[in-house]
Amino acid sequence: MISFYERRRRDPLYFQFGAANALRAARLLEDSVLDAFRREASLSLELITKAVIAQRLQVGEDLGTITKVPVSHNVPKLWTEARLPALSPDDHGRLIQARVYLMWAGRYPAPNRDEDGERDEADLLEHGTSLFRTRTPRTFNWDDVERIYSTANHYFIEIRIAHGLSRPDGSIVIV
């Protein structure tokens, strides 16, 4: 018998509900508190991606070495592990931004280790933006986040429909 906590760690709907809540909070914060918007928006992308991973695992899909939902904020890596479609270079860069916001930029003035900050800055520069240098920044706004979120959520729902766990209207089938 698995524990109550382990059931929650495996349940795709907990991840999806958390993602939807974070997305709603981001929408409310978008025009008023930028850092809070970025944190909630980033969390919504992390959680919807984890929902896809959890759903794939629940229906028995082989994700290679992934046997449980990873404990990670590395949104671009999670996106790949969820076997979601490749995004445009700009949207992939936004996943990197989400990782940076979740790991440190949304909570602390600087990362705990200089190497982490240098790695993140190099990743962002490679994808056309920067946290610290004067450049034309890539947007990370509601439209961007909602578009990326919707891609992952679409796959989440499609997997559920294909396995009889949801109806085409998105409602949940009680099994």
Q: What is the CATH number of domain 4-108+140-162?
A: 1.20.120.330
Half-sphere exposure of 124 (CA within 13 A, CB side): 25
Angstrom distance (rounded) from CA 52 to CA 50: 5
- pLDDT of 125 reads 80
pLDDT digits (tens, 9 = 90+) for 112-157: 888 988 888 888 887 766 666 545 567 899 999 999 999 999 999 9
Q: Quick check: 99 and 93 in contact, CB under 8 A?
A: no
pLDDT at 47 over 60: yes
**Whole-prediction pTM:** 0.90
Domain spans of the chain? Answer: 4-108+140-162
For tokens 């991840």, name the residue: 15
Helical pair 12-29 and 34-58, crossing angle rounded to 10 deg: 160
- pLDDT of 46 reads 98
Q: Quick check: 112 and 104 in contact, CB under 8 A?
A: yes
Quick one: how far is CA 65 from the chain centroid? 20
The more confident residue out of 49 and 124 is 49
pLDDT digits (tens, 9 = 90+) for 55-110: 999 999 999 999 999 999 999 999 999 999 999 989 999 999 999 999 987 787 88
Residue 174's pLDDT band (cuts 50, 70, 90): confident
Q: List the one residue out of 144, 28, 33 whose CA is nearest residue 95.
A: 144
Using CB atoms within 10 A of its CB, is residue 162 exposed (0-12), middle (13-18) or buried (19+)?
A: exposed
Average of per-residue pLDDT across 11-34: 96
